[in-house]
A and B are shown apart, each in its own frame.
Chain A
Amino acid sequence: MEIIKAENLTFRYEDSAKKVLEQFHLTIEKGSFTALLGHNGSGKSSLAKLFNGILLPEGGSVYVSGMDTKNEELLLEIRKNCGLVFQNPDNQLVASIIEDDVAFAPENLGVPSGEIRERVDDALKCVGMYEYRLRSPHHLSGGQKQRVAIAGIVAMRPSVIVLDEPTAMLDPKGRKEVVETILRLNRDYGITAILITHNMEEAALADRVVVMEKGKILLDGTPKEIFSQYEMLKQTGLDVPQITELSYKLHQAGFPVESCILSADELVEQILRVL
């Protein structure tokens, strides 16, 4: 079942002539984990904001669970359904105490106070930040802040969570924490995840990878299908995961390993077989 549908989507910013997205089509299946790749300016971030009606399409439509984002009366319902997490965790935390911050969205939605407490506790446990609930965000590491930001979205009980480069400002440890959180949300809680990223290792974890270029879809498929197009990706200036790079080079050099391997374990296994 599709949960997000972009149809004939055209978009440009008010003060610019250049179209960010043109005749863009994309459907996202319920419960899936999609990675969106592409250069800066390829329209990924605008797309994320079009998904929950922060930006509105110039032409075409975006549907979230069948609701048109142009319908202003449905806006809150759409935003509740489709949560957005941004790059800089500092700029999305509203409150000075973590549990108060996580409570922000349910408060806006007018959820009764007893249920807010329940939702906040659940959301914080879900991202593994429950013990920190009474702390203030500026004492946390980047990865922890970002997980709190995710909890703030989870507390809305959304069906889709769109993450716009959530790991770009984090150190490797923070990245790992956030990526694991996203995977858990998707697998254990059944939340549809859309991850916008520049990191190919993260993209390789998704069920589906969509590569965008100049407001259009360049490639769309499973990570394996996408990263096996090594030459094409390199030509557009994108990368492949390091493991894939290694397996490709080994394959090119004549070793009997597959050219597109996505996990270290798999590559180790194949190399051992060769040895």
Chain B
Amino acid sequence: MLKDITIGQYYPSESVVHKLDPRLKIVLSFIYIVAIFFIKNFWGFLVLGGLTIALSYAAKVPMKFLLKGLKPLLILMTITALLNLFMTDGEILWKWGVLRVTKEGIVMSAFMLLRIVFLVLGTSFLTYTTTPITLTSGMESLLKPFSKIGVPAHEIAMMMSIALRFIPTLIEETDKIMAAQKARGAALSEGNILKRAKALVPILIPLFVSAFRRADELAVAMESRCYHGGNDRTKLKELKYQKKDTIALILFVGAIAVILLCNLLGAAL
């Protein structure tokens, strides 16, 4: 069950999107996130949907695979949608006791839902098409100018890449510990929330202990491989900003501009 989580995992493929400069992809992702919050009507989302499908095609990452990443967020999405549905003031369409649905509420909750969906879909392109190590070296390179004012760019990048590397390992371990505790009669999915939360303790403690042990061994293994911080380190894959990056930048910014221009169509809706 825990294996279904795909956020933060790489989808290996030889597409153009995979080969773009990670720095560009990071910056574009930020632009994308900001743009999502500036969308004022459904036309914008329609174009955004088109952009997402185009990206999925260009990146050779199947839509099915992308949508799977939404699954763990289903609860969050439901809560957000319901809250917005019932809590927005406006023209009342339906009322039952304290619950009321307004026209504005429906629009708002649909908006929120779409925002979350596109937020996840869009940003997961970044992690699907960029290996964690390229991603972090992109981050490192973007943060480098700030290292003069004390931002530990290399250390942050290293920690991130290690964290990403160990996500699947620790997920697997959690599954194992859960199975082991179930075999000892732990009831993990019974009782009320408090009981279930308590049942997590015997899972989290061994997980933490093992994570610390792993960290210890990893540190020794890294030192054995001559790791001594970020000074005079070279890279297997040096980052190069190429012509195709400029083309991608123009196309993407163009698409975002179109999406924002859709705000002008707002009156039509």
Contacts and interface: CB of A to CB of B under 8 A. Distances in A.
9 contacts: A79-B223, A79-B225, A86-B221, A96-B133, A96-B165, A107-B233, A107-B235, A108-B227, A116-B235
Contacts of B238: 113
Given A94-B162, A108-B228, A113 B236 contact: yes
Interface string B156-196: 00000110110011001000000000000000000000000
B58 interface: no
B230 to A, nearest CB: 10
A237 interface: no
Given A110-B234, A111-B234, A96 B224 contact: no
Interface of A: 49, 52, 54, 76, 79-80, 83-84, 86, 88, 90-97, 99-100, 103-113, 116-117, 120, 134-138, 152-153, 156
A113 B218 contact: no
B131 A76 contact: no
A100 B224 contact: no
Contacts, number: 107
B9 to A, nearest CB: 8
Contacts of B165: 93-96, 137
Interface in B24-50: none
B234 A100 contact: no
Interface in B191-220: 214, 217-218, 220
Contact of B131 (A97, A104, A110, A120): A97
Question: Could you say which interface size class chain B belongs to?
Answer: 20 to 34
Contacts of A152: 225
B10 interface: yes
Contact of A54 (B172, B220, B234, B235): B220
A156 B226 contact: yes
A49 B220 contact: yes
A97 B232 CA distance: 22
B131 A108 contact: no
Nearest to B226: A108
A110 B232 contact: yes
B165 to A, nearest CB: 5
Contacts of B236: 99-100, 103, 106-107, 113, 116-117, 120
